[in-house]
């Protein structure tokens, strides 16, 4: 089986989708699928090594620019990427096409009706797009949902919403995954309040501002925050309360450093707000929290409940810093409960490895 995975963005990319793509193609290749990854190069960085992923035999890396030659290099377009991608399609006419970008999927189905295309939905664009673009997004999403040979959703809420909008069709649910470390360093559960962590982006719907505000109700605690660009870090530092928890902003650091931080943390926080983006998420960071053996404090949202049961996390009201602070305080006050939750989450994460996900995906691809 041959698979042409098209990713019309620079790799590596400091976004979760870059991590997901790197692991997806590498694990599929390790399972015997011939995979060609067509991507936008981001020199001098290597597309997979940046994430600590080794390119296995059976994986072909094909850089495709989405720009014009100099002096027009500032001009970039998905259509330029598509034009170059179609040459690769012609060179591998028997390959399945795999995309997670709605616009590119729609363009391909328009230019090559009847092609065998797999679409992986990580959000519902009719709900998350700006209001002025929603009608156009609806038309594209409807066409792709009708014509794709296989549709995969990252979560049950995503699949349910797609069916609600576009009618019943088979949609397979494959959550994101994680590298499961065989060994972890000891955790200082007795001082769990000194080992609280958040890792991820600083977009508004992620709820970082709520965690910063919640710090005022957590005196004596220490919270490390990984992620955020310079402007976002400056904004959140300016909001930090004078009293309460000690906040340490680490900014963007290599993935290996983030994982080291998680592996020594006791409590990990996922404070997503109840926004459209949160409703369709399958947070890689949640699986990383679990694999690192952290007790999880999470916003009570269906997309997160699809992964963890009632007793497997401390659930808080999304968008309410006081509820978030109370949830964290409950674990800080009961380190034995936090330890049990962390150990249970780590064991559950075994079922969400990138290898396990790739195995399920490979079965679905072979079926078509």
70-84, 94-108, 227-241, 301-315, range with the lowest pLDDT: 70-84
Return the pLDDT at 246.
Answer: 97
Q: What is the DSSP string of 154-223?
A: SSHHHHHHHHHHH-----EE----B---S------GGGGGG-EEEES---GGGTHHHHHHHGGG-TT-EE
- Per-residue pLDDT for 71 more than 70? no
CA distance 65 to 42: 10
- Per-residue pLDDT for 77 more than 80? no
pLDDT digits (tens, 9 = 90+) for 272-292: 999 988 889 899 999 999 999
Provide the token pair at 346: 């780590």
Under CATH, what is the fold of the domain 189-352? Rossmann fold (3.40.50)
pLDDT digits (tens, 9 = 90+) for 90-139: 999 999 999 999 999 999 999 999 899 999 999 999 999 999 999 999 99
pLDDT band at 150 (very low <50, low <70, confident <90, very high): very high
Rounded mean pLDDT of 167-171? Answer: 94
Rounded mean pLDDT of 160-185? Answer: 96
- Per-residue pLDDT for 76 more than 80? no
Provide the token pair at 24: 């997806």
- The helix/strand/coil state of 103 is helix
The side-by-side arrangement of strands in the sheet containing 34-41 is 59-63, 34-41, 2-11, 96-99, 117-121, 150-153, 172-173
21-30, 62-71, 112-121, 214-223, range with the lowest pLDDT: 62-71
Q: Do domains 2-177+353-367 and 189-352 have the same CATH topology?
A: yes
CA distance 186 to 188: 7
CATH number of this structure's domain 2-177+353-367: 3.40.50.2000
Rounded mean pLDDT of 288-301? Answer: 98
Return the pLDDT at 82.
Answer: 93
Q: How far is residue 234 CA from its own chain's centroid?
A: 24
Return the pLDDT at 254.
Answer: 83
Count of C-beta atoms within a 10 Å radius of residue 358 = 22
Rounded mean pLDDT of 80-97? Answer: 94
Query: For 174, phi and psi rounded to 5 degrees?
Result: -130, 100
11-16 contacts, C-beta under 8 A, 24 or more apart = 11/37, 11/39, 11/40, 11/41, 11/42, 11/47, 11/48, 11/50, 12/42, 12/45, 12/46, 12/47, 12/48, 12/50, 12/51, 13/42, 14/252, 15/201, 16/176, 16/200, 16/201, 16/283, 16/284, 16/285
66-70, 169-173, 251-255, range with the lowest pLDDT: 66-70
Rounded mean pLDDT of 167-183? Answer: 95
Rounded mean pLDDT of 196-207? Answer: 95
The mean of the pLDDT values for the chain is 94
The domain ranges of the chain are 2-177+353-367, 189-352
Query: For 37, phi and psi rounded to 5 degrees?
Result: -100, 110
Rounded mean pLDDT of 202-228? Answer: 97
- The helix/strand/coil state of 28 is helix
CA distance 200 to 110: 36
Torsion-angle region of 167 (φ positive above 0: left; ψ -120 to 50: alpha; else: beta): left
6-10, 208-212, 256-260, 269-273, range with the lowest pLDDT: 256-260
Q: Are 13 and 101 in contact (CB under 8 A)?
A: no
Q: What is the DSSP string of 213-262?
A: HHGGG-TT-EEEEEB--HHHHHHHHHH--SSSSEEEEEES--HHHHHHHH
Query: For 148, phi and psi rounded to 5 degrees?
Result: -65, 140
Rounded mean pLDDT of 188-207? Answer: 96
């Amino acid at each position: 089986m041959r698979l042409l995975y098209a990713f019309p963005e620079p790799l590596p990319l400091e976004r979760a989708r870059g991590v997901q793509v790197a692991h997806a193609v590498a694990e599929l290749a390790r399972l015997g699928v011939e995979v060609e990854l067509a991507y936008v190069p981001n020199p001098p960085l290597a597309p997979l090594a940046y994430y600590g992923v080794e390119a296995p035999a059976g994986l072909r890396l094909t850089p495709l620019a989405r720009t014009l030659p100099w002096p027009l290099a500032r001009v970039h377009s998905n259509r330029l990427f598509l034009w170059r991608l179609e040459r690769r399609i012609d060179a591998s006419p028997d390959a399945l096409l795999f995309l997670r970008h709605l616009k590119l999927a729609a363009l391909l189905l328009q230019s090559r009706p009847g092609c065998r295309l797999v679409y992986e939905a990580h959000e519902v664009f009719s709900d998350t797009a700006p209001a002025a673009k929603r009608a156009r997004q609806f038309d594209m999403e409807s066409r792709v949902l009708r014509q794709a040979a296989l549709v995969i959703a990252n979560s049950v809420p995503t699949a349910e919403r797609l069916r609600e909008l576009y009618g019943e069709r088979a949609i397979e649910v494959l959550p994101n995954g994680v590298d499961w470390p065989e060994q972890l360093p000891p955790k200082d559960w007795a001082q769990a309040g000194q080992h609280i962590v958040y890792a991820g982006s600083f977009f508004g719907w992620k709820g970082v501002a709520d965690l910063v505000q919640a710090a005022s109700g957590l005196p004596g605690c220490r919270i490390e925050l990984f992620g955020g660009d310079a402007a976002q870090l400056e904004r959140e530092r300016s909001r930090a309360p004078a009293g309460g928890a000690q906040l340490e902003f680490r900014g963007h650091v290599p993935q290996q450093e983030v994982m080291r931080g998680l592996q020594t943390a006791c409590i990990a926080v996922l404070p997503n707000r109840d926004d459209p983006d949160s409703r369709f998420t399958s947070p890689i960071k949640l699986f990383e929290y679990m694999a690192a053996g952290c007790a999880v404090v999470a916003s009570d949202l269906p997309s997160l409940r699809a992964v963890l049961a009632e007793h497997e996390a401390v659930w808080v009201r999304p968008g309410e810093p006081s509820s978030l602070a109370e949830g964290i305080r409950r674990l800080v006050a009961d380190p034995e409960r936090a330890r049990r939750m962390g150990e249970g989450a780590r064991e559950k994460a075994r079922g969400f490895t990138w290898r396990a996900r790739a195995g399920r995906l490979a079965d679905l691809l072979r079926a078509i």
